């Protein structure tokens, strides 16, 4: 098979690494890719949102399957364009990708089909949003309706904080068009888990769960980021919980989208809160999480490509072995100042030494090559990922490998997975 992978971050590096292992892959291209992905694929200088250029490339190179990593091209209709051209895509069409592209759409879908989620209301003006906050009472969560790079959900412990968040979105336009509508939700209490399943339009195959660490500082403090680390599996998400989530949330969601004329093909990310009343949806994403994808794929069994093909073509699922008992952890190394302003172009040393350690993979998230040197090029730079027989071993391996890596301003959380490994 000839496969095109779209994207250039840590998630896409993990996908490239896993896809390249498949004996069915004749050629693997990545657009735009990154220096880490270039070890597994031919990188093409096309941005992930260059829909016309990507389509022309796929036609010219006779691509059999396009795997879309990030959400923005899917929300913009990439899968629709490719499908119209007769090209297979792993990723939902725009109408189905709206499950991530619009929080209001996702909440409305859940309300119409009685899928458990937080109570909510949607607003396009600040005054009624603030009135609703007073009716509901704090704590609350204010969410920008559109795509905001993982930073559009603001937890508000008090009503003044909610007023400020509404002002940021609706009055000061901090999230641009993405924040022109907000969803105001009740604050759910429980354990947060990310669960992933593949869908082929009408049937669903469960994958596994991971736990993400969103905030920038240890102890879950500071502003939200795109994700500072993840680990898998999650002890509280056992086989019984997986069955419950599949039957009450995942299957009904896929059925609801199909019923409303938007069959879903690709991976469904279900952000869950395991509350005292049962699992409830915090959010849906139309792609693999980042950095959850890195933690999942290093422990995933077998060949990923037949699963991607089945999802894209709407075919039956191939036989899949059970997920191994081993654990994994991914720790994001970020530029100093992230998620705010940060410098780029810092020389990175020690990646090869880190990867020489047992059970360790270093996935590139925001790197570039300049004059033959590996340098920082983004907020999240590397995802140091390790597997072990148990979570404590995986954590020790990941942080041991981090000790080999150096770049100016390097920042990372020192507690990824630790509260679950005790």
pLDDT digits (tens, 9 = 90+) for 327-359: 999 999 999 999 999 999 999 999 999 999 999
| Residue range 299-310: mean pLDDT, rounded | 96
pLDDT computed for residue 420 by the predictor: 58
* pLDDT per position as a tens digit, 178-188: 999 999 999 99
Residue 63 has pLDDT above 80, yes or no: yes
The DSSP symbol for 317 reads P
Q: Considering the entire predicted model, what is its pTM?
A: 0.95
Give the orientation angle of helix 159-166 with respect to helix 126-136, to 10 degrees: 160
| Residue range 296-312: mean pLDDT, rounded | 97
**Do residues 371 and 266 touch, judged by C-beta distance below 8 A?**
no
Across the chain, mean pLDDT equals 96
CA distance 230 to 217: 14
Residue 112 has pLDDT above 80, yes or no: yes
Sequence-ordered alpha helix ranges (H) in 89-155: 94-101, 103-112, 126-136
**Do residues 367 and 35 touch, judged by C-beta distance below 8 A?**
yes
pLDDT computed for residue 152 by the predictor: 84
Task: List domains and CATH numbers for the chain.
Answer: 2-91 (3.40.50.20), 125-180 (3.30.1490.20), 191-313 (3.30.470.20), 327-421 (3.90.600.10)
């Amino acid at each position: 098979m000839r496969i095109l992978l779209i994207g250039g971050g840590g998630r896409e590096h993990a996908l490239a690494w896993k896809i390249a292992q498949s004996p069915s892959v004749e050629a693997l291209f990545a657009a735009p890719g990154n220096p880490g992905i270039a070890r597994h694929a031919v990188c093409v200088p096309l941005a992930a949102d260059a829909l016309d250029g990507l389509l022309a490339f796929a036609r010219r190179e006779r691509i059999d399957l396009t795997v879309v990593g990030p959400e923005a091209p899917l929300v913009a209709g990439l899968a629709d364009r490719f499908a119209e051209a007769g090209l297979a895509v792993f990723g939902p069409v725009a109408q189905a990708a709206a499950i991530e592209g619009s929080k209001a759409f996702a909440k409305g879908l859940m309300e119409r089909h009685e899928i458990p989620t937080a109570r909510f209301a949607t607003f396009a003006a600040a005054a009624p949003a603030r009135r609703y906050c007073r009716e509901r009472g704090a704590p609350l969560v204010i969410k920008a309706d559109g795509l905001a790079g993982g930073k559009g959900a603001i937890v508000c412990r008090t009503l003044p904080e909610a007023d400020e968040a509404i002002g940021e979105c609706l009055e000061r336009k901090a999230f641009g068009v993405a924040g022109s509508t907000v969803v105001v939700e009740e604050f759910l209490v429980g354990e947060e888990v990310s669960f992933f399943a593949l869908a082929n339009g009408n049937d669903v195959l469960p994958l596994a769960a991971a736990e993400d660490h969103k905030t920038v500082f240890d102890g879950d403090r500071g502003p939200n980021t795109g994700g500072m680390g993840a680990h898998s599996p999650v002890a509280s998400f056992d086989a019984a919980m997986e069955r419950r989530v599949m039957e009450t949330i995942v299957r009904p969601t896929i059925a609801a989208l199909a019923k409303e004329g938007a069959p879903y093909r690709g991976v469904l990310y279900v952000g869950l809160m395991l509350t005292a009343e049962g699992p409830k949806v915090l959010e849906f994403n139309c792609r693999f999480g980042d950095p959850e994808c890195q933690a999942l794929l290093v422990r995933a069994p077998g060949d990923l490509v037949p699963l991607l093909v089945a999802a894209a073509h709407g075919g039956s699922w191939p036989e899949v072995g059970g997920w191994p008992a081993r654990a994994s952890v991914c720790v994001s190394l970020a530029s100093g100042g992230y998620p705010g302003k940060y410098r780029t172009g810092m020389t990175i040393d020690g990646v090869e030494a880190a990867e020489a350690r047992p059970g360790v993979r270093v996935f590139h998230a925001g790197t570039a090559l300049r004059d033959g040197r590996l340098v920082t090029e983004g907020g999240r730079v590397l995802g140091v990922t390790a597997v072990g027989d148990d979570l404590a071993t995986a954590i020790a391996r990941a942080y041991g490998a981090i000790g080999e890596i150096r770049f100016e301003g390097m920042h990372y959380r020192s507690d990824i997975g630790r509260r679950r490994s005790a």
